[in-house]
Structure 1
Amino acid sequence: MHNAFADDQRINISEKNNEICLLARGFVSVYQQLGSAPFSIFLSSPKLPGPTKPNAAHRSLRSVDTETESDDEEERGIIPSSLKDFVKKGTSKVSDWYLMRKYQSWQKAGKTDDDIYKLWVRQGKDTDQIYTRWIRLGKSEEQVSKLFVKHGLDPEDLYGILTRQGKSMDDIYSLWQKVDLHDAQIYNIWLTTGKTDDQIFSAWYKANKDPENIGIMLQLGKNPKDNRNFPFWEKYSEFYRAKRFPDLQLMVSRT
């Protein structure tokens, strides 16, 4: 009698074995890339255990903390710092390698980046995790941002992701324009996140936004002086002229 449950079990075991083989190959590859120097720790003379009875001299050394961190950790039975760094670096490389292999297998199965994005969302990955995964796969910040925008991520959430990734205000604004988001959106975010006038003006100026561009964005209309944004626009116009025509400003100040 055919046992479907047994077949499923065999398939699961086979998949697990494949994953184990992939990880093993990844560790070997990383070991070859990083070199075996950290493992010399295990080849050096072992540290003999101290006396079982309390030792006052040993305790005094502890109290003034004259031992190195690595020696201290070895004595406590913890992985030494140098090996911790190696393991951390190796684990990261293996993780990246395994993620790339999974990505390639999905591509071979006909899945698009949109499919994979939706898959990660269904798996409960948050936006920061998804962003980081795409970057680890070699995608550019522009590509990842466009993918988020395509799938309806709120501009404020995208701004938050980029901020947490350590991107500067200017970098985010430059990226903002590349993914075709509106200046008015990021301007409102700047206001709610407490950016100063000078910070905003500097970002606009570096992006080659002249007063006419900003006037359109602020929707000054046919009667700009009646618009509540006019004083702000006028202030930027002065900032722009001072930066763009410093010699002219100097001449005016002397008259």
Structure 2
Amino acid sequence: MELAQSRAIVTGGASGLGLATARHFREAGAEVMILDMAEAGQAEADRIGAGFQRTDVTDEASAEAAIAASVARMGGIDICVNCAGIATGERVLGREGPHRLDSFRRTIEINLIGSFNIMRLAAAEMARNERDENGVIVNTASVAAFDGQKGQAAYAASKAAIAGMTLPLARDLASQRIRVCAIAPGIFGTPMLRGLPQDVQDSLAEEVTFPKRLGEPEEYARLAAFIVANSYLNGEVIRMDGALRMR
């Protein structure tokens, strides 16, 4: 599938990995719809010439409205990139007691169920395309899915589930000529991390094997574009982490 003239939706597209992906796809000639809770999403969408729909990925009605708005604007959907997510830092048993159940549940709801909610609806639209390849779905896992650190039980669980469902999703959707892959990023220079003190950023970068720096959101975007373009990539989880192995 070529990015030029394709129609893509990007969740979490108002910032970080999602915004970089939306921008990269637009520059390559794709139509793009940004789905995000952040009101800033409209301004970012206007800046790059994309559409915007305020979307709660965990809510069925909100997700259905977002897909409908995307189809109304673009005439259909060819690509779905799920970047919406949150990072939770909380130990199972900390100084204030056991891990809060609501924070664990919210992490799973947004990172896992939210991704599934959007992609299941996007897949239904892709299946209408009736081409040799009807669609491509790219979900966002994390290296925490494989070597999560202390305080990452909720986050690692949500991202491990993203990684774990990649192959069955690809198998389920093969009959519809839809491919599914996931990217597992390491430590990336998203706005959240770039807001940390420089010495903290430098310390994080030192943990990376090579190159010793934070990943750039544009690098994630280029990998997502490569997955779209390479029709033999399917059912695969791709680590993108500078050979980082967290301890």
TM-score range for the pair, normalised by the shorter chain length: under 0.3
Higher relative contact order (CA 8 A, sep 6+): 2
TM-score, structure 2 length as denominator?
0.23
TM-score, structure 1 length as denominator?
0.22
* Structure with the higher fraction of residues in strand conformation: 2
* Structure with the higher fraction of residues in helix conformation: 1
Higher-Rg structure is: 1
